Amino acid sequence: MAYSGLNASKQGKYNGVVSDDIGKEKQLGVLQLAAAKVVDAIESAAVWVIFGGKVPQSYYVSGNYGPVEEFGPAHSVPVDGAFPECLNGEFVRVGPNPKYKPVGNYHWFDGDGMIHGLRIKDGKVSYVCRYVRTAKLAQEDYWGASKFIKIGDLIGKQGILWPNLFKLRKKLGIVDDTNGTGTANTAMVYHNGRLLALNEGDKPYAVRLLEEGDLETIGRVDYEKKLNHSFTAHPKIDPDTGEMFTFGATREGPPYVTYRVVSKDGEMGEPVPLTVSGPIMMHDMALTENYSLFLDCPLYFNPKDMVKKNQCIFSFDDTKPARLGVLPRYAKNESQIQWFTVSTCVIFHNANAWEEGDEVVLITCRIPSIDLVALAVYDEVKAKKFANDLWEYRLNLKTGEAKEKKLGEFRSDFPRINEEYVGRKNRYVYNCIFDDATHISAIAKYDLTREPELGKEKLELGGNVVGIVWHGKGRYGSEAVFVPKNPGREGDEDDGYLICFVHDEKTGKSEVVVIDAKTMSSEFVAVALLPTRVPYGFHAMPCYRGKALKGSEEQIKKQRL
């Protein structure tokens, strides 16, 4: 575990961030420094009282959830097998990695964003891990300690205290949230020559891939000051037009969601406010050739229930239905959106969407209910209730009817496809299979042209499950992403490779494995034996996108500041 404040600087300014807007110098006076110590003492006393004299130790900072220090770049990483030429470039995965020891409760969503990067060139592999230098992290580097509010603080009655302590710190000039409080720990996207690290509570951070295999934070992106709200962790890029479709969700007041289109050249269009049922957690969207899809699920920012029912600040209301909204891609306002009421559920991650006649088809992973406290205070029963299943929705734009069909079981999430098919009808979905809320034990390949065989006691081949790769006993993976052998949609859709990080809890070793996505053979194409442990994390991507660029090596060369 690494809480030492590695690379922390105390030079009287917020260091470690390249961009001008978050690298401000901030000289603190004697009174401010004294006030900071007083607030820290109040916080420590509150922790002592609230937790009965015991400092809480979160499950999600132990074992392979525990943070690691920055590392590398390490060159000549040992490889078993051979990395295919189409993987030349950079494979990255981001996740939470708290640099400073959390005060009070810690939620898995809270950690500082750390990117783990694998540089692949002509069969040779380098590895690096670097923090995303956010405004939050820059300020905590100055103090050498955790200072910002987090989701783990917002559970139960104690959730009243920490927001007020944070307000006090702001008023005293101890912290500054002018440039956001995000962690950039959730996902990444490559668009218009920029690799962006994303967290839906803030704006994107641009990260540069250096030729020698290192990673460098460039700064916070506001699209020439046109972006004045948060930015989803899961924007969608049309593989043909190069446009990016995105949104931001807020809890400040209606209409709560703002939709945006970004041109292939990085020009952000005008905002389109969308009215939803309340201050929801909207994590993902979907795209077809003519429409954008939005998810209005009853997972609400709810301070009242946090206090009254001892819940997380985001709580699920099972008395309300979910809604799916279909909006023309280039709508100027929300008047053209068509909402479909569906069974109550929460949807975090979509696989794909497309149009068939009068219908819009959405392939997604949904969960019937959720308790986010389970990702802060570990509860095995609650963790195993994170039962995402693969579903199909057919939304008839003419009749207004919504049909729902279950396609898969066994706690499956983080669906990925051949992204040349984003917004177009596709055949295959690659889904992570979870033992509980966070441990990925296998990757399953689903054929959407086949009928599912439901009600089985265990995951096995048959029906629409046409391939399974198990990571092995005591071995758990991360999101597996698909890289096609050739760009475009002319060859077989599944002609390519899956690549993902895997950790062995018995040996403490981590690796990157390459799987033949067509055969789903358990004989790996290649394995990179990493020089350091890689904690469990969130989303991954290869720096490869669409027909315009013939591979991630070319994208690295075409990066821009």
The residue among 326, 330, 306, 325 whose CA lies nearest residue 317 is: 306
Cis peptide before 73 (omega within 30 of 0): yes
The residue among 266, 265, 385, 274 whose CA lies nearest residue 332 is: 274
Whether 475 contacts 452, CB under 8 Å = no
Q: How far is CA 159 from the centre of its chain?
A: 24
Determine whether the annotation assigns residue 234 to a binding site: yes
Whether 535 contacts 478, CB under 8 Å = no
Determine whether the annotation assigns residue 539 to a binding site: yes
Whether 136 contacts 148, CB under 8 Å = yes
The length of the chain is 561
Q: For residues 197 and 184, what is the distance between their CA atoms, to the nearest angstrom? A: 5
Q: How many CB atoms lie within 10 A of CB 29?
A: 9
Tell me the DSSP string of 220-262.
E--TTTT--S---S--EE-TTT--EEEEEE-SSSTTEEEEEEE
Place of tokens 């993976």: 477
Q: For residues 382 and 56, what is the distance between their CA atoms, to the nearest angstrom? A: 19
Interior CA angle at 320 toward 318 and 322, to 5°? 100
| Structure tokens that stand for 160 in this block | 């009243």
30-50 and 161-171 helices cross at what angle (nearest 10)?
180
**How far apart, in Å, are the Cα atoms of 527 and each of 125, 480, 511?**
10, 14, 7
Q: For residues 150 and 391, what is the distance between their CA atoms, to the nearest angstrom? A: 32
Q: How many CB atoms lie within 10 A of CB 550?
A: 14
Determine whether the annotation assigns residue 349 to a binding site: yes
Q: For residues 359 and 290, what is the distance between their CA atoms, to the nearest angstrom? A: 12
Q: For residues 388 and 400, what is the distance between their CA atoms, to the nearest angstrom? A: 26
Return the bridge partners of 462, or none.
465
The residue among 505, 460, 466, 500 whose CA lies nearest residue 483 is: 500
Q: List, in sequence order, the alpha helices (H) in 272-342.
A: 303-308
Tell me the DSSP string of 503-547.
EETTTTEEEEEEEETTT--SS-SEEEE-SS-----S-EEES--TT
Q: How far is CA 560 from the centre of its chain?
A: 23
| Binding annotation | 234, 283, 349, 539
| Binding annotation for Fe cation | 234, 283, 349, 539
